[in-house]
Amino acid sequence: MAESFKYSGKKGNGGELHQVPSGENEVMTTAQGCPISDNQNSLKAGKRGPSLLEDHIFREKMFHFDHERIPERVVHARGYGAHGYFETYDNFSDVTCADLFQRKGEQTPVFVRFSTVAGNKGSPDLARDVRGFAVKFYTNEGNWDLVGNNIPVFFIQDAIKFPDLIHSAKQAPDRGFPQAQTAHDNFWDFTSLSPESVHMLMWIMSDRAIPRSFRFMEGFGVHTFKLINSNGEEKYVKFHWKPTAGLQSVVWNEALKINGADPDFHRRDLWSSIQAGAFPEWELGVQIFDQEFADNFEFDVFDATKIIPEEQVPVKKIGKMVLNRMVDNFFAETEQVAFCTQNIVPGIDFTPDPLLQGRNFSYLDTQLKRLGGPNFTQIPVNAPRCPMRNFQQDGHMAMHTPKGRANYEPNSWEQSEDNPRACPEHGYKSSSEPVEGDKLRYRSETFADHYSQAIQFYKSQTEVEQTHMRDAFVFELSKVEKLAIRERVVSHLRNVDETLAEGVAKGLGLEEMPDKAEAAMAPRDDLAVSDKLSILKNAPNTFKGRKLGIFCCSGVEDELLEGLLQALKDEGAMYEIVAPTVNGIKTAGGKHIKGNQVIDGGPSVLYDAVAVLLTEEGAKEQAKVPEAKDFVMDAFAHNKFIGFIDGTKPLLDELNMTSKIDKGFVDLDKTTPSDFITQLRDIRFWKRG
């Protein structure tokens, strides 16, 4: 008989609700057969202290997880990278001695890899998923890897649960599907039995999980780190990447169709923008705060399932990153790049965040297996740009040749470049932090509030975004076969927002509402709305970097087309000509225009807005073409702006759309191209929905 679980209704360590078997179950053990007493918390020094190296249970569990995939990454397998530079805005020596922040205007080389988390290498780009946002800074004092995501929180609080999370999200082991999606029983079973995941669930059911482009998404360091200046003074910090082009996502139906039309959509977008010289940019921002703020903040700053709202600690911009060069070889660079959260430089340090502590341990182990040996740091994309001097030697695939006799330290051989010593004055020093308490497996009571920030996030969204979230929950949970799991998720949503929970329950056809999930700590609903958490409240107010799909046929007026292309150029926007055939079109003036896409291969989902410039004869002909009708219908359904001319009306009439013309339709016979582009800065006409 299948084992069933229930909530104990009792608070465990840290006020956490623990799942317990409803009947007798076999005791979980390590691979060596040692019984496990706690599979939820790693071993720590004190209730909020750092994780301990002696935790053999965590070590074995993470070791096996890191080695269970050959040869692709276990997570973040689907990735795309580019080179660029980071330029610091000023001298920030008052808060950190990190070398790259000491001189205004100095540029530090970087390599960035964007990725999805759950999908395999062959999965599509527009999966609903977290996006990895990993940056390797090649500083003068070694490599600093800021390994983050496009969402500032995570599903779990302790790294010991990471293998379980990813196992639940990946394809089921007995059938090998589904992959690159979380719409299945295993994922929702795990997360609904882990209340700490609720805040993250709100984020991944939002439009943040289906970004329009890597260029239009934020990045976050997720964890709280430390900054240390040359006087040893310490401050806490959270890192943010802010795209200068603004935030933008797609709608779910659009994402599904993009995956069919171009599963490499995000890759192609980054490639095309860099090749065109429209280099993507992000500003690096920091939230800096002291111990007093940390002690008085509503939540624990070491809890990776929580944010610090920007309204409470504003983000200070300290530099910008520009991606200006694609890789020379995808395998050599993007596939072999190895990011490790433990790679930091003097002036930056860790905190006891149990998720960060576990990542620091895990990543080095991962790279050892994936890249074949301990010398992966010698692969060019991973090698520091500053000198490396140590006594490490040999090993699989050693790529540089040590010189001299000395391969140990201390030694009495003469001083030379190949005989380095530790430097107490300039070498890396960990921050001093008092550690006390019993050695135990524990989840701090300060980690026990699982719903309050989920409430805040939902309240901070616009009505349009809230509707998208409700629909996302309904879609995902409709793929879940087990009724009890669907009901369990709704029971958690009742702690977030009753209207949301009722909407999801109605969409699922639940006959009655489940009871609210028992909360380890009573949620609070007095947290202020944070507008920075909404995409639509932070609209870009520009069409720069976006793409217009121009569907036209022979006979289009030269002046209109040329004026439109010039207006796009002035805005810094891109375009593609979508034509009836691969040969392109001829304008009314006889000029041949090459088509970038054919109508049956260039659907409107690939564009941020469309212009349909058809002659009356051309419109009548295209009204017989299903793909031409889909081009307009999808643009309408996805709330996009649609430019048209009088000749297009036979196609609109065929679609019964003439009566549906709203302010999202722009008559280019009556509007200048420049005014049309100005309207496109709103990106979508949400009032249509």
Quick check: is 418 in a domain?
no
pLDDT of residue 23: 56
Q: Please check whether residue 504 lies inside any domain of the structure.
A: yes
Q: Is there a cis peptide before residue 420, judged by omega within 30 degrees of 0?
A: no
Would 450 be classed as within a structural domain? no
Q: Are residues 603 and 479 in the same domain?
A: no
Quick one: tokens of 224? 């709280």
Please check whether residues 82 and 32 belong to one and the same domain: no
Residue 273 near residue 545 (C-beta atoms within 8 A)? yes
Q: Are residues 531 and 545 in the same domain?
A: no
Q: What is the pLDDT of residue 32?
A: 77
Please write the tens of the pLDDT for every residue from 628-644.
999 999 999 999 999 99
Domain shared by 200 and 259, yes or no: yes
Can you give the pLDDT at residue 69? 64
CA distance 307 to 350: 17
487 and 344 fall within a common domain: no
What pLDDT is attached to residue 528?
97
Taking only Cα atoms into account, the Rg of the chain, rounded to an integer number of angstroms, comes to: 27
pLDDT digits (tens, 9 = 90+) for 223-253: 999 999 999 999 999 999 999 999 999 999 9
- Per the domain annotation, does 434 fall within a domain? no
For residues 452-476, one letter each, b for 16 or more C-beta atoms within 10 angstroms of the residue's C-beta and e for the rest, the string is: bbbbbbbbbbeebbbebbbbbbbeb
**In the predicted structure, residue 663 carries a pLDDT above the cut 90:** yes
Query: What per-residue confidence (pLDDT) applies to 3?
Result: 38
What does residue 323 show for φ and ψ, rounded to 5 degrees?
A: -100, 115
Residue 689 has pLDDT above 80, yes or no: no
CATH number at residue 657: 3.40.50.880
pLDDT band at 16 (very low <50, low <70, confident <90, very high): very low
Tell which residue, 490, 479, 515, has the closest CA to residue 198.
490
Give the chain's mean pLDDT. Answer: 93
Task: Convert 304-324 to b/e letters by CB count within 10 Å (16 or more is b).
Answer: bbbbbbbeebebeebbbbbbe
**What pLDDT is attached to residue 40?**
87
Q: Is residue 443 part of a domain?
A: no
Say whether pLDDT at 266 is over 50.
Answer: yes
Structural domain contains residue 438: no
The arithmetic mean of pLDDT across residues 375-398, rounded, is 87
Taken in order 37, 41, 46, 50, the sign of the CA dihedral is: positive
Section 308-336 average pLDDT: 97
Q: Which of 188, 184, 126 is nearest to 155 (CA)?
A: 188
Give the CATH number for residue 227: 2.40.180.10
Domain, as residue range, for 157? 56-378
Give the pLDDT of residue 22: 47
Q: Are strands 43-45 and 439-441 parallel, antiparallel or unpaired?
A: antiparallel
SS3 441: strand
315: which DSSP letter?
P
Number of domains in the chain: 4
What pTM, to 2 d.p., does this model score?
0.90
- CA-nearest of 620, 621, 556 to 585 is 556
Question: What's the pLDDT at 433?
Answer: 84
Tens-digit pLDDT profile for residues 126-162: 999 999 999 999 999 999 999 999 999 999 999 999 9
Instruction: Specify if 395 maps to a domain.
Output: no
Same domain? 18 vs 68: no
- Asked if residue 337 and residue 233 are part of one domain, the reply reads yes
What per-residue confidence (pLDDT) applies to 389? 83
User: Do 291 and 235 lie in a common domain?
Assistant: yes
Long-range contacts of 593-600 (CB under 8 A, 24+ apart): 593/552, 593/561, 597/549, 599/551, 599/625, 599/627, 599/628, 599/631, 600/625, 600/627
Least confident of 8-22, 549-563, 624-638, 662-676: 8-22
Is the Cβ–Cβ distance between 404 and 416 less than 8 Å?
Answer: yes
Mean pLDDT of all residues in 453-457: 98
Which of 503, 536, 569 finishes a domain? 536
Residues 547 and 465 in one domain: no
What CA–CA distance (Å, rounded) separates 133 from 266?
Answer: 13
The pLDDT of residue 308 is: 98
472 and 582 co-located in one domain: no
Q: Is the pLDDT of residue 13 over 60?
A: no
Judged against a pLDDT cut of 90, whether residue 364 lies above it is answered with no
373 confidence band (pLDDT: 50, 70, 90):
confident
Q: Is the pLDDT of residue 18 over 70?
A: no
Q: Kindly state whether residues 369 and 267 are assigned to the same domain.
A: yes
Tell me the residue ranges of DSSP E strands in 485-627: 547-552, 574-579, 585-586, 592-593, 597-598, 609-613
Query: Which one has a higher pLDDT value, 395 or 125?
Result: 125
Asked if the structure places residue 412 within a domain, the reply is: no
- Which of 516, 536, 556 is the C-terminal boundary of a domain? 536
Question: Is the model's pLDDT at 329 over the cut of 90?
Answer: yes
Q: What's the average model confidence in pLDDT over 250-270?
A: 97
Q: Give the tens place of pLDDT for each residue, 44-64.
A: 999 999 999 888 888 878 877
Among residues 378, 394, 426, the one where a domain terminates is 378
What is the set of active-site residues? 76, 149
Are 204 and 262 in the same domain?
yes
